[in-house]
Amino acid sequence: MEKNSKKRRKKESSSVKMAPSCLAEVADPERILRDYSQLETQLAPLYEKWKSVDKNFSDRGSLFPGVRILRQDPVENLFSFICSSNNNISRISGMVEKLCTEYGTLAGILDGDKWYNFPSVSSLAGKDTESELRKLGFGYRAKFIHQTANILSEERSTDWLHTLRKLSYEEAHAELQKLPGVGAKVSDCVCLFSLDKPGAIPVDTHVWQIASRDYMPELKSKKSLTDKTYREIGEFFRELFGEYAGWAHSVLFSADLKKFQDIAEGRKSQHSTDEEVVHPNKKQRKSSKKPSKKETKEK
């Protein structure tokens, strides 16, 4: 009896509570989700185009249909990728969570857990932000976050990042790199994931390895990813895949991740099984022939 009452109390306390500030934001969830997932972009014709110009994409990319680029908020994306500098996914996620819990507003409570909005630029521009972030383990990134927040709040308009969507890729890419902690890769990430620049190619060591292994063997002799090599890789993929090169590159990136290899092998096996059913092997075709006279007599 006591256990059941505890469960009921837990269930009652786990009801969803939404903060008033976020109610308006979910007034039209379908529109928000369609925009966020960029559902107006038709993937099927893009995949067909990429497969027609690149055998490697045809072989590997075909195993991962439906990979989409999300249209993320520029402010959230910018500061998240500043956190990504020389970092791993686990630590990046932890830092972004700390930014939200320490500087963001409460969005709601679900199953007893509090969820926070990503902080505003002004909240990250406080005079003590850098020292606070260093105590939270952000290291040198604390300075970049604080300085960039100050520039955006004092020297730019509130929607300056959104206005970059109207610029060309080259212009937006250059403007972003004027901010502290934003190099070519972080700039490309923001361009691709937030600023409607589908041809942006963020090049990290993983993409460099894909390029040198499958496309540009001359890069194998390079000991480091220089600015020149970075530009060459981006231009190569843009010339190969066209306007949506950043989307194509993301499919290849996904297909190359170790954690997705089991999925790829499973889909290869399924594809092979399907082919055997549709196209019987030689032994099966031989058995389908009419029996010879000798076989008929024996029967």
Q: Which residues are catalytic?
A: 185
Q: Which of 43, 53, 58, 41 is nearest to 242 (CA)?
A: 53
CA 190 – CA 201 distance, rounded (Å): 10
Nearest Cα residue to 247 out of 12, 75, 45: 45
Question: At 165, phi and psi to the nearest 5?
Answer: -65, -25
> Is the CB of residue 233 less than 8 Å from the CB of residue 201?
yes
What span, in angstroms and rounded, lies between the C-alpha atoms of 249 and 234? 10
- How far apart, in whole angstroms, are the C-alpha atoms of residue 44 and residue 52? 12
State how far the Cα of 51 lies from the Cα of 264, in Å rounded to an integer. Answer: 17
Q: Is the dihedral of CA 65, 71, 76, 81 positive or negative?
A: positive
How do strand 17-18 and strand 113-116 relate by DSSP bridges?
unpaired
| Rounded Cα distance, 18 and 229, in Å | 48
Relative orientation angle of helices 245-256 and 205-214, to the nearest 10 degrees? 90
The 3-state DSSP class for residue 92 equals: helix
